[in-house]
């Protein structure tokens, strides 16, 4: 196992998303990469880096449970707002 972190260039995200979605039997076309990455960025900066993947996982669960793919943006906005509140409460 290689412990060196790998960083994908932005253009490789589409290919990775397609491969991962296929593995999970999902439609990659339904994933708004920008929205998910924006949530991860905001949470990483306003809360903590390890909170970013956890938050995006929760976001995915919430969207899946809602049964409404259009709910993603509303839920993403709610998580981003919560992260900003967290930062303010922590004095950041």
On whether the pTM is more than 0.85, the answer is no
Within a domain: residue 14? no
What is the reported pLDDT for 65? Answer: 94
What are the tens digits of pLDDT across the range 12-65?
Answer: 788 889 999 999 998 988 888 889 999 999 999 999 999 999 999 999 999 999
Q: Exposed, middle or buried by CB within 10 Å (0-12, 13-18, 19+), for 92? A: exposed
Within a domain: residue 55? yes
Number of domains in the chain: 1
Q: Which domain holds residue 66?
A: 49-92
Within a domain: residue 57? yes
């Amino acid at each position: 196992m290689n412990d060196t972190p790998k960083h994908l260039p932005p253009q490789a995200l589409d290919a990775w998303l397609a491969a991962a979605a296929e593995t999970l039997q999902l439609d990659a076309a339904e994933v708004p990469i920008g929205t998910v990455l924006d949530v991860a960025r905001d949470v990483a900066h306003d809360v903590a880096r390890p909170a970013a993947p956890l938050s995006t996982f929760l976001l995915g669960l919430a969207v899946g449970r809602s049964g409404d793919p259009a709910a993603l943006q509303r839920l993403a906005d709610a998580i981003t707002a919560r992260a900003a509140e967290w930062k303010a409460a922590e004095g950041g």
